Amino acid sequence: MVRNNFKNKFKGAIDILKIFNQKGYEAYFVGGCVRDYLLGEDFSDIDITTNALPDEVKKVFRKSIDTGIQHGTVTILVNGDSYEVTTFRTEEDYTNHRSPEKVEFVSNLREDLDRRDFTINAMALDYNGKLFDYHNGDQDLNSKIIRTVNNPNERFYEDALRMLRAFRFSSKLGFEIENNTLNAIKRNAELIKFVSIERIVNEFKKLLAGKGNLRSLELLIDSKLNSYIPFFDEVDEVQDFLSYSFCQSLYILAKLNNISFEKLRDLKLSNKEIKKIKEYERINLEFIDNIPLELILYKYDKDDIHFIIDYFGYCDKKEIDIINLPITSFNDIAITSTEIISIIDKSPGPWIKEVTKKLEEAILLNKIDNTEKNIVDFLKKIRDNI
Ligand code: ATP
Ligand code: MG
């Protein structure tokens, strides 16, 4: 793969490797940043691997955070940028097909690269830009292939999440999954049950956002890996999700496959995410019920409405954008709740909500102007029906 621009791409981070060297340690750029650099693509995170132990890393770089110290990872802060520095390690102690609780530090780079998931993720660069590639990752980058480091059956048996990561990287990069690797996924698919749903969802987020998401999702369904993952076990219809957010993608998946929104609970999404997805359905139902656009626009976020009208083709965006609402919230109404209560002259109860809603509707649909006099007249008129 192309190898230029090293200094430009890694900039100040190169000095960090040099500082480690001056203190007598080895240190390399590793993983995603090396892969993306060789592909000529931009990267944001720079991960560093070193033979310095976490305490030694912290002595060299005073400003640090113990991000994953039990796994040997320390985040260092240098000139306003942060870097994850992980001590060379192996992960021998796999139980229940998950990444291990404890790790063992090792003394050489080779062993550290051996424990990594895919050949394209198992390369390192030193401060001169010299590539260390013991698993032909560079060649697989050229051939656009996702292949495990060493025996795929063993690697998926150790940590079953790697199966989903194979689809994630195939989606991100638009690469094919090598045959032995794909067959091993088919054989070991059930082991994904042992992996926490949080880690699974995290990979799905990235998979759905990748340029090759459609092909990867089709391959994933074909491998049956999804049939052991809640919610996704009911998915067989997919589409390209590149232009959609994660919540929008889940909403579309639920609609396309007739999956109950309650199933989303199993994915342990945040309350905010669940609320968003349910909101999409509420907007959809309002359109189905022919609720006037003004009322929908008053109640919901404009971007969310755009998404729903675009997706279902309910109307043109322009029809929404030309609407100028006379009020955008209750606070804009020329009368207060206290005044409403005194005009209606009843003890407070659920009727307040009902009256407020009628009043808002009347103003939004231009039946009355938003002036105190008009509102008082309106309230007096409806008073007897409450
Ligand atoms: P991205 O740019 O999308 O974050 P990445 O390659 O940095 O891609 P991460 O999930 O951040 O991906 O992981 C960083 C590196 O750690 C990987 O490149 C890989 O070498 C290694 N790695 C991460 N998870 C595993 C795993 N489950 N098994 C083996 N190696 C892993
Ligand atoms: Mg990363």
CATH number of the domain bearing residue 368: 1.10.246
Which is higher by pLDDT, 95 or 43? 43
User: How much is the pLDDT for 103?
Assistant: 80
- Is the same domain home to 111 and 232? no
DSSP 278-302: HHHHHHHHHHHTT--HHHHHHHS-H
User: How much is the pLDDT for 93?
Assistant: 61
For the chain, what is the domain count?
4
Ligand 1 and 99: CB distance under 6 A: yes
Answer whether residue 309 shows pLDDT above 90. yes
Task: Indicate the residue type of 166.
Answer: A
- Is the same domain home to 1 and 131? yes
Domain boundary among 143, 169, 198: 143
Give the pLDDT band (50/70/90) at residue 66: very high
Residue 265 placed within a domain: no
Q: What 8-state DSSP symbol labels residue 348? A: S
265: which residues sit within 8 A by CB, 6+ positions away?
Answer: 274
- Is the same domain home to 1 and 117? yes
- Calculate how far, in angstroms, residue 45's C-alpha sits from the geometric centre of ligand 2: 6
Best mutation site among 47, 85, 117 for ligand 1, i.e. most ligand atoms within 8 A of its Cβ? 117
User: How much is the pLDDT for 310?
Assistant: 95
- Is the same domain home to 113 and 208? no
- Is the same domain home to 133 and 151? no
Domain boundary among 143, 158, 190: 143
Ligand 1 and 162: CB distance under 6 A: yes
- Is the same domain home to 231 and 185? yes
What sign has the CA pseudo-torsion 177, 178, 179, 185? negative
Ligand 1 and 116: CB distance under 6 A: yes
Interatomic CA distance for residues 347 and 356, integer angstroms: 15
The mean pLDDT of 167-192, rounded to a whole number, is 98
- Is the same domain home to 5 and 98? yes
> Which protein residue has the closest C-alpha to ligand 1 atom 18?
31
> Which protein residue has the closest C-alpha to ligand 1 atom 24?
117
Residue 256 placed within a domain: no
User: How much is the pLDDT for 386?
Assistant: 77
User: How much is the pLDDT for 95?
Assistant: 73
- Is the same domain home to 225 and 340? no
Interatomic CA distance for residues 166 and 169, integer angstroms: 5
What sign has the CA pseudo-torsion 13, 18, 20, 21? positive
User: How much is the pLDDT for 100?
Assistant: 66
Residue 261 placed within a domain: no
The fraction of the chain above a pLDDT of 90, given in percent, is 88
User: How much is the pLDDT for 91?
Assistant: 75
The closest-lying atom of ligand 1 relative to the alpha carbon of residue 149 is 29
- Is the same domain home to 6 and 115? yes
The mean pLDDT of 224-238, rounded to a whole number, is 98
Which is higher by pLDDT, 368 or 94? 368
- Is the same domain home to 218 and 342? no
What sign has the CA pseudo-torsion 128, 134, 139, 145? negative
The DSSP H or E segment spanning 64 is strand 64-68
Which residue range is the domain that position 65 belongs to? 1-143
Residue 93 placed within a domain: yes
What sign has the CA pseudo-torsion 136, 137, 139, 140? positive
CATH code, domain with 149: 1.10.110.30
The DSSP H or E segment spanning 358 is helix 351-364
Answer whether 180's CB lies under 8 Å from 219's CB: no
Residue 60 placed within a domain: yes
The string of pLDDT tens digits covering residues 314-353 is: 999 899 999 999 999 999 999 998 999 989 888 888 999 9
Collapsing DSSP to helix, strand or coil, 222 comes out as helix
- Is the same domain home to 108 and 41? yes
Residue 80 placed within a domain: yes
Of the candidates 78, 81, 79, 57, the residue with the CA atom closest to the CA atom of residue 68: 57
Best mutation site among 46, 85, 121, 161 for ligand 1, i.e. most ligand atoms within 8 A of its Cβ? 121
- Is the same domain home to 181 and 278? no
What's the mean per-residue pLDDT of the chain? 95
Ligand 1 and 117: CB distance under 6 A: yes
Residue 251 placed within a domain: no
Q: How many helices and strands in the chain, by DSSP H and E?
A: 19, 11
Ligand 1 and 161: CB distance under 6 A: yes
Interatomic CA distance for residues 327 and 253, integer angstroms: 35
Domain boundary among 143, 170, 199: 143
Ligand 1 and 210: CB distance under 6 A: no
> Which protein residue has the closest C-alpha to ligand 1 atom 28?
117
DSSP 255-273: HHTT--GGGGGGGT--HHH
